Amino acid sequence: MQTTSRLPSAHWHRLRRVLVALLAAGLGLGSAPAQVRKELGRMWTFEAAPLGWFQQAYDFTPGPEWLEHARLASLRLGRRNDQAPGGIQFFCSASFVSPHGLVMTNHHCARDAIAGVQGENDWLKDGFYAGDYAGEVRIPGLLVSQLVAQRDVTKEVAERGADAVRAAAEAEQPELLHQVIALYQGGNYQLYSHRLYEDLRLVCAPHGQVAHFGGDPDNFCYPRWGLDYTFLRAWDGDRPLDSKAQCFAWKTAGAAEGEVVFVTGNPGRTGRLQTLAQCEYLRDHFYPGQIERLQQMLERLHREAASSPQKEKELRPRILSLENARKANQGYLDGLRNPRILAIKQKAEDELRAAVAKDPELQRRYGDAWDQVAALQQAKIAAVGDRDQLRELAAAEQEQQKRIGEACFAVYGTSIPPDATMSLRISDGVVRGYPLNGTLAPPLTTLYGLYARHHEFGGKPPFDLPQVWIDKERELDLRTPFNFVATCDIIGGNSGSPVVDRELNVVGLIFDGNIEMLGNNYVFDDEVSRSVSVHPAIVVESLRKVYGAGALADELERKARGPADAAGSSRR
């Protein structure tokens, strides 16, 4: 240590960053450190999974085979869209959950797709179950992607540009979808290569009202009773895809309170590397106007929907989407108005700038980036109404953000996770309730609560149950777990993500977070923020006792004898 301490300052800081990165990667150089920069969250990339942190926090170190299996079983849900980059718009997460190409995601993720194929039926309202392979309905344009390879291309991007790197990969492997992902706001670049599955068919969806039980009032809230699942199937030619080597197992019992769980999915966007000045601009100028615009759009659509039942059916998916966006934006604003959140942001920014200032080379390259960003926020305020000056300012801001990302990566390396980029991540946490309004929120809810809420509100929307659920109440086990919460780090895009345990069993399906979670968009804090998931027990209970889908439940629980039985009948 005496020799090391005599190194010049710049060399010492570079050596320190290397040692921290090695420790975070779990390569055995002493005991693992505590999580570095907790405020930046736990949306880890698979290529830099924090094995040292997992070992220290949970006494568990997943090996390469575990990580590969989790990666290949995890999917990203999207649709063909000529206006999107690469011609595909990705918007949710999913996973393989049986050996026969069965794909699990959220009902709200598949809502538009179901509406697009239901024709004169109202499957969004009444639910759908195919019954057998022949009854599964193909959904044109819908697809899932599977991350099959990745490599660091930071140097290549600096030399040739991201488009050239992607084009070279496409020429070499045209059968895959290749994306160059900018991590740490451009501090690091990864080439992610995906296999696409484009023949997806609708297998089962619950009643829309049960999937979205509680409607807008319960959205982003907990305790909760949302049966937000949908099952699709990937097909390979004239038969279901053979996915036995790349699917999660199923655990109907779920996870116990305090048990470690992992979410594998594709969080869309976070702003944890954004500066305090950017957060203040969003708080004071962007979100208030955005919320007002969304409210005006909703009021107009509600008026149109009231004109006829057919118009309501047509506009229902759009209204639900905008209601979600309005409440999400309000949650982001509330988070930025929380002094605790901004105090954490201020402290983190001060410490990063101090670390940069200690290294003369880093200070020369990045030291003024924060001041530049702050000046740009003032320029944006002055330029309101000018959709050209604002574009120029946005481009300048992006360049400064890239400098900050490079500085952050130079200081902390892969010991911290990058902001969300709608690319695959793994997030760790534990099943745990939290303090709520002077009492406690339980770690899970049960079927008892669903019926209680229905009756307590007199069966009036949005707390009304479809008639079949009322008819089946005496047949159901009301002790069945329904939804549960965990400390995993999620955001929009994680919808449809599987929650898995140490043995890679599915123990839940992410569909929401509590309202406190929305503040995590800019600063991660798990004191009361929670992910909210559908419990596997209610999935099986509803399939067997409400929807007559016992064969599908057998497929999930691996009780079916073969591919034909797994979907309910032979493929005749």
Token code pair at residue 505? 């069993």
Give dist(CA 543, CA 210) in Å, integer: 13
Taking all residues of the chain, what is their mean pLDDT, rounded to a whole number? 92
- Where would I find the beta strands (DSSP E) of 198-305? 200-205, 230-236, 239-240, 249-250, 260-265
In the predicted model, what is the mean pLDDT of residues 1-8? 35
DSSP assignment, residue 48? Answer: G
| pLDDT > 90 fraction of the chain, expressed in percent and rounded | 88
Residue 129 CA: distances (Å) to CA of 106, 168, 410: 15, 44, 52
Main-chain phi, psi angles of 11, to 5 degrees = -65, -40
Single out the residue of 397, 403, 341 nearest to residue 366, CA to CA.
403
Q: How far is CA 55 from the centre of its chain?
A: 24
pLDDT at 3 over 50: no
Local confidence band at 86 (pLDDT 50, 70, 90 cut-offs): confident
Cβ pair 445, 484 in contact under 8 A: yes
pTM of the model: 0.90
The pLDDT value recorded for residue 174 is 97
What is the CB-side half-sphere exposure of residue 184 using CA atoms within 13 A?
Answer: 23
Q: Pairing mode, if any, of strands 481-486 and 444-446?
A: antiparallel
In the predicted model, what is the mean pLDDT of residues 181-193? 96
In the predicted model, what is the mean pLDDT of residues 227-250? 98
Give dist(CA 113, CA 124) in Å, integer: 10
The pLDDT value recorded for residue 54 is 97
The pLDDT value recorded for residue 510 is 98
The pLDDT value recorded for residue 59 is 97
In the predicted model, what is the mean pLDDT of residues 543-558? 98
pLDDT at 282 over 60: yes
The pLDDT value recorded for residue 560 is 66
Local confidence band at 1 (pLDDT 50, 70, 90 cut-offs): very low
The pLDDT value recorded for residue 561 is 52
The pLDDT value recorded for residue 385 is 83
The pLDDT value recorded for residue 85 is 84
- CB-CB neighbours of 122 under 10 Å: 16
68-141+198-269+420-572, CATH topology level: Thrombin, subunit H (2.40.10)
Domain residue ranges in the chain: 2-38+49-64, 68-141+198-269+420-572, 276-415
Over the stretch 471-483, which tens digit does the pLDDT of each residue have?
999 999 999 999 9
- CB-CB neighbours of 338 under 10 Å: 17
The residue length of the chain stands at 572
Single out the residue of 436, 445, 535, 525 nearest to residue 487, CA to CA.
525
Local confidence band at 7 (pLDDT 50, 70, 90 cut-offs): very low
Q: Pairing mode, if any, of strands 434-436 and 425-430?
A: unpaired
DSSP assignment, residue 414? Answer: G
Residue 517's Cβ-count burial label (10 Å; 0-12, 13-18, 19+) is: buried
Over the stretch 199-225, which tens digit does the pLDDT of each residue have?
999 999 999 999 999 999 999 999 999
Give dist(CA 361, CA 542) in Å, integer: 61
Over the stretch 498-520, which tens digit does the pLDDT of each residue have?
999 999 999 999 999 999 999 99
Sign for the CA dihedral angle at 314, 319, 324, 328 comes to: positive
Specify the DSSP element, H or E, that contains 224: none
Least confident of 14-23, 49-58, 270-279, 341-350: 14-23
pLDDT at 2 over 50: no
pLDDT at 66 over 60: yes
In the predicted model, what is the mean pLDDT of residues 118-140? 97
Over the stretch 449-464, which tens digit does the pLDDT of each residue have?
999 999 999 999 999 9
What is the CB-side half-sphere exposure of residue 389 using CA atoms within 13 A?
Answer: 11
